[in-house]
């Protein structure tokens, strides 16, 4: 993806209800219009970066962009796992995301356990990469300081 870092924001919507319940890995989902407005050259796969909810603190995150082959989705989605424990759900809040790097392509898994194991590996790898100085500086980007308005792709 030539466009990294890539910045986007949108209102958190209800997803498939699988992140927390089946995987134990809660995700925040963007509405279709945010996914549809991604640059054309964005490959499906797993990315990492920074995220905040509303005007809250900025945390490390991983995001899956694609069709989730294990679940055979018919619609492309963008599901963000923020590496922070939130006290409550934040549906309807504005999610701010800075995608800074690519981890791996999307792929299918033969079991739920292998999917969960891969996601946990992605999270650990993202944590390491986000500690690199070139990625750490993006945590302080002005994108996270601006007034939170309507959906806005780009920067």
Catalytic residues: 79
CA distances (Å), 24 to each of 52, 75, 98, 99, 121, in order? 20, 22, 23, 23, 14
User: Is residue 51 a contact partner of residue 82, using CB atoms and an 8 Å limit?
Assistant: yes
**DSSP designation for 40:** T
User: Is residue 71 a contact partner of residue 48, using CB atoms and an 8 Å limit?
Assistant: no
Q: Quote the tokens at residue 150.
A: 């309507």
**DSSP designation for 41:** T
Encode 59-71: b = buried (16+ Cβ within 10 Å), e = exposed. bbbbbbbbebebe
**DSSP designation for 4:** -
């Amino acid at each position: 993806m030539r466009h990294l870092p890539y910045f986007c924001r949108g209102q958190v919507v209800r997803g498939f209800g699988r992140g927390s319940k089946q995987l134990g890995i809660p995700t925040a989902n963007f509405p279709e219009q945010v996914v549809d407005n991604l640059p054309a050259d964005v490959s499906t796969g797993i990315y990492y970066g920074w995220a905040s909810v509303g005007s809250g603190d900025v945390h490390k995150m991983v995001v899956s962009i694609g069709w989730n082959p294990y679940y055979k989705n018919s619609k492309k989605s963008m599901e963000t796992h923020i590496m922070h424990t939130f006290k409550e759900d934040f549906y309807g809040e504005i999610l701010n995301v800075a995608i800074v790097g690519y981890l791996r392509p999307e792929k299918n898994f033969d079991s739920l356990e292998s999917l969960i194991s891969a996601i946990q590996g992605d999270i650990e790898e993202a944590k390491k990469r986000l500690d690199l100085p070139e990625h750490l500086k993006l945590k302080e980007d002005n994108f996270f300081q601006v007034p939170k308005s309507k959906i806005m792709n780009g920067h």
